[in-house]
Structure 1
Amino acid sequence: MTRALVLIDLMPRIIANPLGPHSGEDVLVRCRDLAAALRAEGSPVVLVRVERPGVDEQPPGSDLAEGLEQDGDVVVVKRTIGAFHNTGLDEKLRAAGVTTIVLAGLVTTMGVASTAWAACDLGYELEFVADAMSAPTLEEHEVAIGTVFPRIGEVRLTKDYL
């Protein structure tokens, strides 16, 4: 198994939103820890951020969180909810021999879920890091990690990777 960590939308303008059960800052801290652990084992780290299509300038806070990107990371810019459509992500992962995707980031029920469904359709094995993602509400997050995600992958915690 070759796995890659795919971190979704860790951007200041999204991190600052009210989220549950974890704050954006808490998710960012855990995602930084995950990235360090997976980089240390030689796994690729993919950082995904979203841009709004058809605008001359992106809103403030549209870059990745400061210091998140390290040498060797793959950065993907998406213009849809999920990270696969028209981004080349599938090709990059397959070129690296990736068969398993570890997903974390913001938000559970949007960017993470949309990316997960596409990855599942493409045949990847999935792992979800429940405490390294958050949703607009606690209830949305709990339904995703407690009911939906276990049907298509394994749900784990940050400590399982450290």
Structure 2
Amino acid sequence: MTALDPGRTALDPRRTALVLVDLMERIVALPLAPRPGTDVLAAAARLADTFRTAGAPVVHIRVERPNIETQPPGSELVPDLVDDGEPVVVKRTIGGFQDTGLHELLSALGATTLVLGGIATNLGVESTARAACDLGYELVFAEDAMSALTDAEHRATVELDFPRLGTVAAVSAITLDGPA
């Protein structure tokens, strides 16, 4: 795992958005590794507070199963995760960009750098990250604000794939310059 470059200044809150993927009740409750969903949620909430304090946008993504009338119980984002006015993007694929308007939303917010967290590391987060990379975003991965169905899946993604797409960091290492 790499950390934020020691010589690098804090992320610019005017050009950085936090994107949290699939932090829904039914997904957070799954048996996850290397950490339980409640730990992921706590880390994501701390990171979201850091972004809000700096005036940087927080964007939430949740999945809906296509072609069904009613979504399964627990398909809403975890209560108290979303502050008033924060955008919620609904996806119907693994990644957050396909036919969702996410790129247009992030562009309108002025975001050129994305900090990503959520569940599952190797599915929704990675798929969203790959599309973001293709679209030219700089990426930072909040490693302790994500988890997967198995430790091996999480570790493979964090140690092999994410360093090729961006920077992997602990939530405590991700800072912003201050109020926008």
Fold-level similarity (TM above 0.5) = yes
Q: Distance in 1 between matches of 2:82 and 2:47?
A: 13
Q: Could you tell me how far apart the structure 2 residues matched to 1:65 and 1:160 are?
A: 25
Seq. identity, %: 54
SS of match in other structure, 2:159 = helix
- Corresponding residue number in structure 2 for 1:161: 174
* Inter-partner Cα distance in structure 2 for 1:37 and 1:72: 17
CA separation in 1, counterparts of 2:56 and 2:173?
15
Which residue does the alignment assign to 1:98? 111
Point out 4+ residue stretches in structure 1 off by more than 2 angstroms: none
1:13-44, CA deviations, whole angstroms, 9 ceiling, x for partnerless residues? 10111111010010001101110111111111
How much does 1:112 deviate?
Answer: 0.1
Q: In angstroms, what is the RMSD of aligned CA positions?
A: 0.9
Q: Distance in 2 between matches of 1:39 and 1:160?
A: 16
Find the counterpart in structure 1 of residue 156 from structure 2. 143
1:78 corresponds to: 91
- Aligned amino acid, residue 154 of structure 1: T
What is the aligned partner in structure 1 of residue 32 from structure 2?
19
- Tell me which of 38, 47, 63 is aligned to 1:34: 47
User: If the length of structure 2 is used for normalisation, what is the TM-score?
Assistant: 0.88
1-structure distance, mates of 2:149, 2:41: 15
Cα drift, residue 71 of structure 1 = 1.7
Give the aligned residue type for 1:88.
G
State the AA in 2 paired with 1:127. Answer: V
Unaligned segments of structure 2, at least 5 residues? 1-11, 176-180
* Alignment size in residue pairs: 162
Q: For 1:80-133, what per-residue CA distance to the aligned partner results, in whole angstroms no more than 9, with x for missing partners?
A: 000000110000100111000000010000000000000000000000011110
Instruction: Measure the CA separation in 1 of the matches of 2:41 and 2:74.
Output: 14
**Aligned counterparts of 1:66 and 1:152: Cα–Cα separation in 2:** 31
Q: 1:63 aligned to 2:76?
A: yes
**Structure 1 length normalisation: TM-score?**
0.98
1:6 corresponds in structure 2 to 19
Which of 1 and 2 has greater Rg?
Answer: 2
Distance in 2 separating the partners of 1:79 and 1:158 = 28
Amino acid aligned to 1:75: V
How far apart in 2 are the matches of 1:148 and 1:91? 26
